[in-house]
Amino acid sequence: MATCDQYINPLIVQRADPFIYKHTDGFYYFTASVPSYDRIEIRRARTLEGLAHAAPRTVWRKHTTGPMSQLIWAPELHYVHGSWYIYFAAAPSIGPGPDGLFQHRMYCLTCESQDPMAGEEAWEERGQVKTALDTFSLDATVFERAEHLYYVWAQKDPAIKGNSNLYIAEMKNPWTLATQPVRLTKPEYDWETRGFWVNEGPAVIQHDGSIFITYSASATDANYCMGMLKADAMSDLLAPESWQKWDHPVFQSNLAEKQFGPGHNSFTKAEDGQTDMLVYHCRDYTDIKGDPLFDPNRHTKIQPFTWDANGNPNFGKPVPYNYNITSIAM
Amino acid sequence: MATCDQYINPLIVQRADPFIYKHTDGFYYFTASVPSYDRIEIRRARTLEGLAHAAPRTVWRKHTTGPMSQLIWAPELHYVHGSWYIYFAAAPSIGPGPDGLFQHRMYCLTCESQDPMAGEEAWEERGQVKTALDTFSLDATVFERAEHLYYVWAQKDPAIKGNSNLYIAEMKNPWTLATQPVRLTKPEYDWETRGFWVNEGPAVIQHDGSIFITYSASATDANYCMGMLKADAMSDLLAPESWQKWDHPVFQSNLAEKQFGPGHNSFTKAEDGQTDMLVYHCRDYTDIKGDPLFDPNRHTKIQPFTWDANGNPNFGKPVPYNYNITSIAM
């Protein structure tokens, strides 16, 4: 089993909203928001540690003008039905819309090649992934269950206080919803409403007959933390009552170790193919100068986690940095 | 002795013009051009490998307007006469001046603290480092020899064809020249004049009674390569005839390994305190889309080098990437 000490942290500096996917080709693939928010990059390596050194390739760039011209956020790379897809959010401008929120919508790219790093020419735009509401929406992820493909994302509902809630829908293909959105959670607890009322950044993990969705809550400062939902894998995933919501955060700042605002996570497996790994970003200071949006120092971290007797994940707390401990085993 | 295989490459992705300095506090300090060219960052770690994971701190940001408002390039961090200094170049705009060149001038910062990562408040501007000509100038470095402090940099002379030549002067303090500039080299060989006529990015290393200055030549594409000058350490370093110039590049692209345009180097020592290390940037592709200036994929690499029977460095050739070899010893 991998232990905390086997992984160097931070793993990758200056990458927020980290997403790692281990493919059948044996490579770990990594993508994330880049600090300039102007492109989508992919890198790959045979080990998690190798991702820190893997040469990135740009696979898509923001448009000069229009709805996909600013703030390219939170890309995820998925392999669905034999093809590669990237889900991401983009905005028409840096500024807020009439509702005071960012103006992101969700988009999908697909790759004509089985090699997702084949280059920009290999990636084609599939357009906006449209939902029932034309509002601020972002952080899409997808997962398959019993041959059904589901889409989970964050979106503003003008009738609900706050920036965004989480929704699920079934898909008819990897870039089109088949059903109406079903709301899974909205910001309601104190830990979800600090600074801003936010539920965003969903990530899905299936374990022992259950499906878990973790997500991030509150403002993206030291208040940022992770909540969790759980459903029986055999239940109707589009029925809100199938989902149980935790009333407390499952992962949050570790003040003693100066690990602030962990969140926007994804999941992967360690090289042993067994150990579950939590992937998230975190800051190591709270004294941000200038616009926090353009402070690049949210760093990608990884750490193993375990499952408790009830079959629920135990994420522990954000591990300290260990890059100055020279005896790290690889 | 360290060998190539002991260092993972690239060491740090998306950092060009890399500069590493090992201080008496046992830390390696790292700074470089950041892809956004809008700030100066420092990071530190106890090992070279640790620099890949070390959390950066911003120590200075570009001004909103004026001569220090764009294209912050090639910072170097030096400890001189008991204080920390940063040398860097900045421009008033992204575009060229009347001579068709970038409009950089050279600047100096000094730190009020013995901890150079104390924060932005600790760093103070010392203004422009002025030379005899008010022209495009950049890539300053400093070195001490026999209690004299020297400044070496790249600058345009309108009377000489090309973008920049290399100059040396003695300093009266770490931000002021004491003497007239003396030209050390200008682009003249074919390998110095491919794409553009360029001599830039000087780096100094002293060894066995000699002083070497390496520099970078030609356009910053696959033609970019390193040249070298040598002087007897006891000679008059301000006399051009003290310096011998190599008629061939001492380090250049390794096409077989897709290592293109190595250069803008610095020097440091391995953790053993003995092995000399070459630090440089390199690209792994030549098919650059869009403005090469804003293609972020010049990556920092490191590799040990040796000295030949004549006391000259043997840099070898750019090593291949090895981040997918999982058995790298730390």
Q: Is B233 at the interface with chain A, CB within 8 A?
A: no
| Active-site residue identified among A41, A139, A192, A200 | A200
**What type of residue sits at position B156?**
K
Q: Is A246 at the interface with chain B, CB within 8 A?
A: no
Taking the alpha carbons at both ends of chain B, their separation in whole angstroms is 13
Q: Is B299 at the interface with chain A, CB within 8 A?
A: yes
Residue with token string 């203004």:
B127
Q: A215 in helix, strand or coil? A: strand
pLDDT in tens, A34-66: 999 999 999 999 999 999 999 999 999 999 999
What distance in Å separates the CA atoms of residue A16 and residue A35, rounded to the nearest whole number? 8
Give the length of chain B: 330
Given this model, what pLDDT does residue B326 score? 56
Given this model, what pLDDT does residue A1 score? 39
- The answer to whether the beta carbons of residues A236 and A256 sit under 8 Å apart is no
Find the CB nearest A46 among B58, B284, B326. B326
Task: Quote the tokens at residue B214.
Answer: 């390496």
- The answer to whether the beta carbons of residues A216 and A265 sit under 8 Å apart is yes
Q: Give the mutation candidate from A14, A53, A325 for the B interface (greatest B CB count, under 10 A).
A: A53
Q: Do A326 and B299 touch (CB under 8 A)?
A: no
Task: Quote the tokens at residue B212.
Answer: 């070497």
In this predicted structure, the answer to whether residue A296 has a pLDDT above a threshold of 70 is: yes
**What type of residue sits at position B178?**
A
Which residues of B have a catalytic role annotated?
17, 200
Contacts of B241 (CB under 8 A, 6+ apart): none
Q: Do B324 and A45 touch (CB under 8 A)?
A: yes
Find the CB nearest B120 among A50, A289, A327. A289
Is A192 among the residues known to form the active site?
A: no
Contacts of B152 (CB under 8 A, 6+ apart): B140, B141, B142, B143, B166, B167, B168, B184, B202, B204, B213
- The answer to whether the beta carbons of residues A171 and A157 sit under 8 Å apart is no
ipTM: 0.94
pLDDT in tens, B77-135: 999 999 999 999 999 999 999 999 999 999 999 999 999 999 999 999 999 999 999 99
Q: Is B8 at the interface with chain A, CB within 8 A?
A: yes
Given this model, what pLDDT does residue B243 score? 98
All domains in chain B, ordered by first residue: 4-314 (2.115.10.20)
Q: B242 in helix, strand or coil? A: helix
Q: Is B64 at the interface with chain A, CB within 8 A?
A: no
Given this model, what pLDDT does residue A88 score? 98
pLDDT in tens, A139-197: 999 999 999 999 999 999 999 999 999 999 999 999 999 999 999 999 999 999 999 99
| Active-site residue identified among A17, A76, A271, A276 | A17
Q: Is B286 at the interface with chain A, CB within 8 A?
A: no
CA atoms within 13 A on the CB side of A182: 17
Question: Is the full-model pTM beyond 0.90?
Answer: yes
Taking the alpha carbons at both ends of chain A, their separation in whole angstroms is 13
Q: What letter would DSSP give residue A12? A: B
- The answer to whether the beta carbons of residues A311 and A208 sit under 8 Å apart is yes
Q: Is A297 at the interface with chain B, CB within 8 A?
A: yes
Q: DSSP letters of B171-189? A: EEETTEE-S--EEEE-S-S
Which B residues in the span 28-57 are in contact with A, Cβ-Cβ below 8 Å? 35-36, 43, 45-47, 50, 52-56
Picking from B326, B27, B267, B280, the residue whose alpha carbon sits closest to that of residue A54 is B326
In this predicted structure, the answer to whether residue B44 has a pLDDT above a threshold of 90 is: yes
Residue A275 — very low, low, confident or very high, per pLDDT cuts 50/70/90? very high
Chain B residue nearest residue A49, CA to CA: B323
pLDDT in tens, A224-253: 999 999 999 999 999 999 999 999 999 999
Contacts of B330 (CB under 8 A, 6+ apart): A326, A327, A328, A330, B6, B47, B49
